[in-house]
Amino acid sequence: MAMTRFLIRRILSGIVVLWIVSTAAFFLFFARNPDIVARSLAGRAATGAIINEVKRNLGLTQPILVQYWQFLDRTVHGNFGLSYYNGQIPVSSILARDIPRTLSVVVGGVVFWLIVGIAVGVLSATRARTVFDRVSTLGVLAGISLPTFVLGELLLAYVYVPLNTHGIGWVNTGYAGLSQGLGAWSGAMILPWITLATVQAAVYTRLSRGSLLDTLGEDYIRTARAKGLTERRVVYRHAMRAALTPVVSQLGVDIGAFLGGVLVVETVFGIGGLGEDAVTAVTNGDLPTIIAFVLIASAFVVAANILVDMLYAVLDPRVRIT
Closest CA to 122 of 24, 201, 25, 4: 201
The answer to whether the CB of 100 falls within 8 A of the CB of 176 is no
For residue 90, what is the enclosing H or E element? strand 89-90
Please report, as a single letter, which amino acid is at residue 165.
Answer: T
For residue 318, the model assigns a pLDDT of 53
For residue 2, the model assigns a pLDDT of 65
Q: Residue 61: is its pLDDT beyond 90? A: no
User: pLDDT tens digits, residue range 141-194?
Assistant: 777 777 888 888 889 999 988 988 888 878 888 888 888 888 889 888 999 998
User: pLDDT tens digits, residue range 275-314?
Assistant: 778 778 877 778 888 888 888 888 888 888 888 877 777 7
Output the furthest CA–CA distance in the chain (Å, rounded): 82
pTM above 0.75, yes or no: yes
Dist CA 181 CA 263 (whole Å): 25
Closest CA to 172 of 159, 59, 43: 159
Count the alpha carbons within 13 Å of 50 in the hemisphere toward its beta carbon: 19
Domain ranges of the chain: 2-92, 106-270
3-state secondary structure of 224: helix
Rounded to the nearest angstrom, the gap between the alpha carbon of residue 58 and the centroid of all alpha carbons in its chain is: 31
The answer to whether the CB of 44 falls within 8 A of the CB of 85 is yes
Mean per-residue pLDDT over the chain, rounded: 82
User: pLDDT tens digits, residue range 82-113?
Assistant: 887 766 688 888 888 888 898 888 888 888 88
Count the alpha carbons within 13 Å of 189 in the hemisphere toward its beta carbon: 26
Please report, as a single letter, which amino acid is at residue 187.
Answer: G
Share of the chain above pLDDT 70, in %: 93
For residue 170, the model assigns a pLDDT of 86
Q: Residue 20: is its pLDDT beyond 90? A: yes
Dist CA 184 CA 172 (whole Å): 8
Share of the chain above pLDDT 90, in %: 6
The answer to whether the CB of 276 falls within 8 A of the CB of 115 is no
The whole-number average pLDDT for the span 31-43 is 79
Banded pLDDT at 24 (limits 50, 70, 90): very high
For residue 16, the model assigns a pLDDT of 93
The whole-number average pLDDT for the span 262-277 is 82
For residue 319, the model assigns a pLDDT of 55
Q: How far apart are the first and last CA of the chain?
A: 13
98-120 b/e (C-beta count within 10 Å ≥ 16 → b) = bebbbebbbebbbebbbebbbeb
Pinpoint the alpha helices (H) of 146-286. Answer: 148-155, 161-165, 182-216, 219-226, 231-233, 240-268, 274-284
- Which residues does 182 contact at the CB level (< 8 Å), separation at least 6? none
Rounded to the nearest angstrom, the gap between the alpha carbon of residue 205 and the centroid of all alpha carbons in its chain is: 19
Among 10-14, 206-210, 224-228, whose mean pLDDT is lowest?
224-228
The answer to whether the CB of 37 falls within 8 A of the CB of 57 is no
Strand 89-90 to 82-83 pairing:
antiparallel
Nearest 5°: phi and psi at 90? -60, 135
